[in-house]
Structure 1
């Protein structure tokens, strides 16, 4: 069985990025949505991107951006773009045409039936709350429906929303998913927590051993 992708998101300091890199996570995300508690500037992004090796995806998270905003950030070394708003299939197509960069598109539980509209324009489906970064779980009962659609479209299905060391085992045991995405689940008092990152990675390593 293939390994489940692990994305840690919402990084704001070089030290936290270095910690995530040491665990060889699949992807590291940076919030480029204005006025969020984990938002960073393009200058900060420029200082952290070089710390991440080529094999780890560097993801810029946007919400209803302009094409220019995506292009400017992507030119700094992002390897993936995550769209967390009401971006249309046509907008995703424009990004592909301009930058040819892989796209993670976020869908809430109420938007799952829209997934097929994005066929050919996105590369990963991520289920999360429409707001994102809330620290609350989504309704996992919607996962099987989403999985049917993503399998038909041959797209990976990632899950976010309130994931932490205490519930990821149940998630990956009960549902056939391709990736997990954590932000608040690897934080304590709003700051990245090395111990929590360690525990998540250790749990995923144990899962991979069992599945081999």
Structure 2
């Protein structure tokens, strides 16, 4: 069964609804350039209210290895998602527990020694949460890893078809379950997780 990550969370009540609905992972944006940015201590406070066995993910964009490591420790997130143009060396330095994001097809994704590889939609000057679908070329390039995470433009109405087509390890949604950046619609969260898991 496909795993589901609800990303760009900023409120404890949204995180609680996601967990109750069956989310496998929760994503928090620790990059100040995002509309969904949340400070490390605020992330830690939300995580303190959650049950165990739910993976917490911190999302970073073109931040130094030292900054990512410090924010990982301060926030308490378990997994690091590198959503910028980070080189393989950054992935290696922060492993284990790294997801590397791609918006265009890499020649060899395994050069980035991550634990999973995420295909996201491309929008000029933006890093994630754009609502743009991941292109088939990048998805096809990452699928052979066996650890494809599919993101970009997914909604409760589209996720089942994408899961059936690509059979990813996991799917990741932010804007597709929101009423505004960082503000989740609880019914859309429930619908999205149900549609993904039943696909």
Same fold, TM-score > 0.5, yes or no: yes
Which residue of the partner structure matches residue 55 of structure 1?
Answer: 53
Q: In 2 relative to 1, CA 61–160 (structure 1 residues): closer, same or farther, beyond 3 Å?
A: same
Match of 2:118 in 1: 126
Structure 1 residues without counterparts, runs of 5 or longer: 208-212
Structure 1 stretches of at least 4 aligned residues deviating more than 6 Å after TM superposition: none
1:115 matched to 2:109: yes
- 1:103-145 CA deviation, whole Å, 9 max, x = no partner? 000011x232141212xx2100000135211011122354333
CA contact (8 A) 1:24 1:56 kept: no
Structure with the higher fraction of residues in helix conformation: 1
Q: Do 1:8 and 1:25's aligned partners in 2 also have CA atoms closer than 8 Å?
A: yes
Looking at structure 1, the residues matched to 23 and 85 of structure 2 have their Cα atoms a distance apart, in angstroms, of 28
Q: 1 or 2 for the larger relative contact order (CA 8 Å, sep ≥6)?
A: 2
**In angstroms, what is the RMSD of aligned CA positions?**
1.6
Q: Aligned runs of 1:192-207 on 2, under 5 Å? A: 192-207=184-199
Asked whether the equivalents of residues 163 and 196 of structure 2 are also in contact (C-alpha less than 8 Å), the reply is no
Tell me how far apart the structure 2 counterparts of residues 165 and 174 of structure 1 sit (CA, whole Å): 15
- Structure 2 stretches lacking a partner, 5+ long: none
Count of equivalent residues: 193
Question: Are the equivalent residues in 2 in contact too, given 1:103–1:122 (CA < 8 A)?
Answer: yes
**Normalising by structure 2, what TM-score?**
0.90
Q: Is the 8 A contact 1:52 1:58 kept in 2?
A: no
Q: What's the TM-score, normalizing by structure 1?
A: 0.85
Q: Separation in 1 of the partners of 2:186 and 2:15?
A: 11
